[in-house]
Structure 1
Amino acid sequence: MQFNGEFEVAAPIKEVYSFLSDIDKIIAIIPDLLSVEKIDANSSRLSVKAGLSFIKGKFNLLFEIKDRKEDDSVAVSARGSGSGSSLDLKASYALRPVDAGKTAVSWNVEMTMGGMVASMGSRVLNGAAEKYIKTLTASFQRSFEDGTKQ
């Protein structure tokens, strides 16, 4: 499955890049996070609560920052398994300044699901993935707009 979009953040490009290139800050906005084990500056093991229809439980993931181009782009990946299913996710974020103090974030997510969850059908999976992405995007924007920048 592939998803993409763009949103604006009320912060200059340097601040947005700094946030996206800091694994601790990205992890802090992940919904339903159960636990984190930091491996190094670019990777952590995560446990995330998962629930889709009758499949509920947790996913154990290796989350990594894969590529950084200062003040331009960041790429991340997450792969792992849980509840009889597997996940392989690659996401990239490209930044560009828009107005004074604002940054546009263009994003692209490629996701492959396997196991029980893959049997749910693309309509159900797409809906759940879009909802999760929307929640993550809103958390990211809020982290700048409420002044916390975690």
Structure 2
Amino acid sequence: MNTIYKSDNGTGLRCPLYLSTVEAGFPSPAEDYVEGSLDLNEYLIKHPAATFFVRVSGDSMVNAGIYPGDILIVDRSLEPVDKKIVIAVLNGELTVKRLRYRAGVPSLEPENDNYTPIKISEEMSFEIWGVVTNVIHKV
């Protein structure tokens, strides 16, 4: 991760949001009902002043659906609790991992079996930078 962007909710771009859902199984007849408009800033960003976008590099979180090149939406105002995916600063480097607490001891766990968990010790410089709320990637 080497790119951090501040959120900008000033764009106000709204797109149509259809009332009907899209079937992932068998197709259903299309409906022409528009529920309203959807502003992705309002939908994805709950705390604009504390929200940033971070581009991912590396593959340690692929089993969580986070791939190289994805953009993470990170909210710095949320409390980092057990099992949340977080952006951490570990010895001066940013990393994205799942935060785990076992017997009160934090660890950063990858979502890829090719990597090992990082048990946080007092000798390490460690800080939770923010909590990942959403991931954006192309299909």
Question: What's the TM-score, normalizing by structure 2?
Answer: 0.30
In the superposition, the TM-score normalised over structure 1's length comes to 0.28
Higher alpha-carbon Rg: 2
**Higher share in strand:** 1
Q: Which one has more relative contact order, counting CA pairs under 8 Å at least 6 apart?
A: 1
Greater percentage in helix? 1
